[in-house]
Amino acid sequence: MGFSNFWQNYNGKNLDYLPGSIYIGMIMESFGMPYETVLKSFNFLVALVFVAVIHRVHKNWQITLAVYLVPAEWFISTYWGQTDTWWVFLIYLSLVALFQKNKIVISAMILAIAISLKLQPVIFLPVFGWYFWKKRNWQGLKNFIIFLGLTWFVINLPALHANLELTINVYTQSFLRPDVLSSGAYGLWTWFSGIDPKFASSLGTILFVGIMSWLFSKAKVVNLRSALYLAMMLNLTYFLFMTKMHSRYAHLAAIFSVIVATTNLGSIGLNIAYLVNQI
C-alpha cells in the first residue's frame, strides 16, 4: 500500500505518527524483513552516527564515550524500538548548523525535517529565536522562517494532498486532547494525583514560561554550548512542569546533559532518573 492510499483511506483514531515517520516506516517495510528488526537496526545506526557527529563537533573522547553509554538511549531506541533519537539528532544538527556554522537555511531545513517526524521539536523554537534576537539578525530570522515553512510544506505535501483533515488532526491532536496529569511520566504532578488537570496545566505553563524566561535572560554568550544548555533546560522544565507528559519526552535533556556536563552529578542523576522513568 502506497503512502497516499494509506493516508487517504485511514479511518482509525488517534494516529500518533506524523507524515515523516510514516514515510520512513513504509520504506522500512519494503525491505522484506521483520519490521521490528529493521527499525531497531536503523535506530542502532542512527545512534552510532549521532555519537560520531558529536565527536567530530566537540573533539572530546570523554563526551563521546559518555553519550555512547547513555543507558536510556540504548534501552529506548535499540531494545524498545522507539524513534525519539531521530528527532533529537536532528535538533542537535540544526543547532550546530546555526550556532557553530551560521548556516541559517540548512538549520531551518533540518528543523523542518525534525518537526515532520515528531511534534516535540516545536518547543525548542525559542532557542533558535534567541539566536536571532541576540544577533539582531532580522533578515536571517526572515530567511529561517521562510525555509522552515517551505521545507515543512514540501515534506508534508503528499499528506496534505491525500487527506488534509487527517494531516491537520495529527499535528493538532496533542494540543486538543483532554488534560491528564501524566501519560506515564514521573513529573511534578505525579505527587499531586488529586489536583485538577486543567489547573495543573495552567500552573505548569506559568512555571515553565517563568523559569525559561529567566534562564534566557541570563544567557549572555551566543554559542553552541549555550544553545545546547538552553535546549536541555527547555526540555527538562517542560517535562517536569507540564501535563500530559510521556516518559520519553525528556530524551533530549538526557542526551544533551551529557554533552554540556559530562561528569556532573546532576547529569548522572538525570540520566538515572530518566532510565527509571522507562522501566
Q: pLDDT for 97-127, tens place per residue?
A: 999 999 999 999 999 999 999 999 999 999 9
Which is higher by pLDDT, 69 or 166? 166
In the chain, the percentage of residues whose pLDDT exceeds 90 is 45
Average pLDDT over residues 53-73: 85
Alpha carbon distance 36, 78 (integer Å): 10
Mean per-residue pLDDT of the chain: 87
Environment class of 143 (CB within 10 Å of its CB; exposed 0-12, middle 13-18, buried 19+): middle
**Helical spans, DSSP H, in 59-196:** 61-68, 71-74, 84-95, 104-117, 125-135, 138-162, 164-176
What single letter denotes the amino acid at residue 126? P
In this model, does residue 92 exceed pLDDT 60? Answer: yes
C-alpha cell read off for 262: 559530562
Which is higher by pLDDT, 148 or 76? 148
Q: What is the pLDDT of residue 71?
A: 72
Query: Phi and psi at residue 82, in whole multiples of 5°?
Result: -90, 160
Q: What is the pLDDT of residue 258?
A: 87
pTM above threshold 0.85: yes
Environment class of 164 (CB within 10 Å of its CB; exposed 0-12, middle 13-18, buried 19+): exposed
Helix H or strand E segment including 29? helix 19-29
Average pLDDT over residues 16-30: 86
**Helical spans, DSSP H, in 197-279:** 197-218, 224-241, 251-260, 265-278
In this model, does residue 138 exceed pLDDT 90? Answer: yes
Q: pLDDT (tens digit, 9 = 90+) per residue, 175-188?
A: 777 777 777 777 78
C-alpha cell read off for 243: 501535563
Which is higher by pLDDT, 215 or 29? 215
Contacts of residue 219, Cβ cutoff 8 Å, sequence gap at least 6: 130, 226, 229, 230
Q: What is the pLDDT of residue 243?
A: 82
Q: What is the pLDDT of residue 177?
A: 72
Dihedral, CA atoms, 101, 122, 3, 47, nearest 10 degrees?
60
Contacts of residue 97, Cβ cutoff 8 Å, sequence gap at least 6: 103, 106, 107, 110
In this model, does residue 12 exceed pLDDT 70? Answer: no
